Amino acid sequence: MYSLSARLFQRKAPATLVLIILFMMALANVAQATTPLRKLAQSASAGAFSAPELYSPTYIRFDNGLQLVVLQRNTARSVSFKVRVGVGMADFDCGRQEIPHALEHMVYGGLLDFSEKALEQRFWELGVDSNAYVAGSETVFEAEVFPSSLSETMSITLRLLTEGHFTEDQWQKTSAIMRQEMGGEPTNLERSSLTGGEFASAMTKLNAAIDRQYNRICPEYDQQQNIGLADIRQTYETYYQPQNMLWVVVGDIDEARVLLWAKKNLATMERRGAVPDQNTPSQELPGQKTWRGYSSDPAAGLLFPTGNAGDPDYFPLIALSNLLDQMAYAQLRIADGTSYSPGAWHYADEHEGWLGITTDTPAGDHEEALERMRGLLSELSAQRLSEGQFERFLRGILRSWARAPESNEGFVDFYLASHWEFKELGRLVHYEKSLASVTPADLQRVASKLSRSELIYELINEEYPEDAY
């Protein structure tokens, strides 16, 4: 999705006097408008399993609240650039949850002197691959950029996010496009599945019972029905403000020049008012323990509420979910031959966390499958792994982790996912070190804790009946 010299952001030889002077100017100028510029860590501390620069971006929080993360990667030959705006579909009541999605579309046609057609043509000329997406709590604008095109791309993006003017005609066209994006008129099965109706999965029904708005499982399929142009304009004015933005730039850049541009253009953005607190999930969980629904194949699962991403058990739970995943595959598929794709997973954000064990199962064997999954957890609770077993297991996780944030975009996505760490801690949590510090005793402790939990949800899915289609 997305004037200064076209060469402004090209990476220069670090030994030149010009670069040294520019970098010192950047440090001095940025410091005047922000809290102190922080290089979060030295590359030497990244660890054996992390990309060398991963934990050493420059992080700034300007006085206007805007956050900026910048990382120069001298081995890169492109740039990944993304802006996170803290507003998503879960911030709106049911019936109105498509507001931020509509706005994400309309932003690209919101400049009075720069039509969307002209914008697309200019991005093509600059070699910019652009896109945007909306999730529950965020809207993200992203671009893969040729280095010499970065300054103009950032300048255009800034205009899109601050100078938008939206018309009724634009809204009507966007509404029609979004209906096409959804695939047109839904089938009865699609409508029921997505709204938590009769043919929804057990997981969807549970999530609807927990919090329909936050989990975006509204009783109405059409989330545009109560939206007007005034809602879109109000959302833009309210949420698209500097204190609600995180800008991330990673790749073949001259970091000093990016900081100078940011000091001139981002640090001077003005707030229009307070940004509403974002919606958070309900803390009251249903007392009903067993949930039944439908899916394309019979399936069963166990679901455990856990702490959020800041919980002391976050990394032991990551290790536990990986080990359960291995055990489920080894026992339910390889040994028993009763499942095609058994597995386990763990999810946590700044608000909540969940650990799940799931498997497909032959029709009518749900209870047996649930008992087998409980047995996996009981096995880990009863017997601690030896130091040697655990070391080999943990090293496997770290080796697989090393494959993840390798590209510029991988780095940017890692920083975006860590947005709450920047905001609340002013630093990144070192995942490799934290995971490497987990012990066999930690693993046994969290397994026992889950086994004894009074709130374990059983999920049972039957195959869709013929009349569902």
- Contact at 8 Å (CB) between 76 and 53? no
Q: 190 is written with which tokens?
A: 């699609």
- Contact at 8 Å (CB) between 223 and 97? yes
Strand ranges (E), 192-244: none
Widest CA span in the chain: 75
What's the rounded mean pLDDT across residues 338-343? 95
- Contact at 8 Å (CB) between 172 and 26? no
Mind listing the pLDDT tens digit for each residue in 388-440? Answer: 999 999 999 999 887 778 899 999 999 999 999 998 888 899 999 999 999 99
- Contact at 8 Å (CB) between 138 and 278? no
Residue 255 sits in the same domain as residue 354: no
Look at residue 299 and tell me whether its pLDDT is greater than 60. Answer: yes
Residue 321 sits in the same domain as residue 229: no
Look at residue 289 and tell me whether its pLDDT is greater than 90. Answer: yes
How far apart CA 420 and CA 308 sit, in angstroms, is 12
How far apart CA 255 and CA 131 sit, in angstroms, is 24
Q: Domain boundary at 265, 300, 317, which?
A: 265
How far apart CA 149 and CA 79 sit, in angstroms, is 9
- Give residue 91's identity as a one-letter amino acid code: D
Look at residue 201 and tell me whether its pLDDT is greater than 60. Answer: yes
- Domain span at residue 91? 17-186+221-265
Mind listing the pLDDT tens digit for each residue in 214-226? Answer: 999 999 888 888 8
Q: What's residue 325's pLDDT?
A: 97
Residue 215, domain member (yes or no): no
Per-residue confidence band for 305, with pLDDT thresholds at 50, 70 and 90: very high
Residue 369, domain member (yes or no): yes
How far apart CA 101 and CA 105 sit, in angstroms, is 7
How far apart CA 239 and CA 89 sit, in angstroms, is 13
Residue 245, domain member (yes or no): yes
Helix, strand, coil share of the chain (percent; to 5): 45, 15, 40
CATH of the domain at 71: 3.30.830.10
Which of 263, 259, 276, 342 has its CA nearest to residue 93?
Answer: 276
Mind listing the pLDDT tens digit for each residue in 19-42? Answer: 333 333 334 444 444 455 666 654
Q: What's residue 222's pLDDT?
A: 87
Residue 254 sits in the same domain as residue 316: no
Angular region, 318: left φ>0, alpha ψ -120 to 50, beta rest:
alpha
Mind listing the pLDDT tens digit for each residue in 130-144? Answer: 999 999 999 999 999
Q: Domain boundary at 230, 265, 300, which?
A: 265
How far apart CA 206 and CA 289 sit, in angstroms, is 10
Global pTM value? 0.88
Residue 204, domain member (yes or no): no
Residue 107, domain member (yes or no): yes
What's the rounded mean pLDDT across residues 56-75? 95
Residue 256 sits in the same domain as residue 350: no
Strand ranges (E), 337-441: 343-348, 353-360
Reduced to 3 states (helix: H, G, I; strand: E, B; else coil), residue 83 is strand
Q: What's residue 252's pLDDT?
A: 97
Residue 116, domain member (yes or no): yes
Which stretch of 22-31, 48-57, 260-269 has the lowest confidence by average pLDDT?
22-31
CA 152 to chain centre: 26
Residue 284, domain member (yes or no): no
How far apart CA 240 and CA 49 sit, in angstroms, is 37
Residue 365 sits in the same domain as residue 225: no
- 187: which DSSP letter? P
Residue 249 sits in the same domain as residue 386: no
- Contact at 8 Å (CB) between 259 and 58? yes
Residue 367 sits in the same domain as residue 461: yes
What's the rounded mean pLDDT across residues 364-374? 96
Mean pLDDT across the chain: 89
Residue 260 sits in the same domain as residue 399: no
Q: What's residue 469's pLDDT?
A: 79
Residue 252 sits in the same domain as residue 311: no
Residue 56 sits in the same domain as residue 106: yes
Which of 80, 111, 102, 155 has its CA nearest to residue 409?
Answer: 80
Q: 212 is written with which tokens?
A: 């329909």
Residue 363 sits in the same domain as residue 458: yes
Q: What's residue 43's pLDDT?
A: 45
- Give residue 229's identity as a one-letter amino acid code: L
Percent above pLDDT 90 for the chain: 80
* Count of domains for the chain: 2
Residue 143, domain member (yes or no): yes
Q: What's residue 184's pLDDT?
A: 80
Per-residue confidence band for 353, with pLDDT thresholds at 50, 70 and 90: very high
CB count within 10 Å of CB 331 equals: 18
Residue 357 sits in the same domain as residue 317: yes
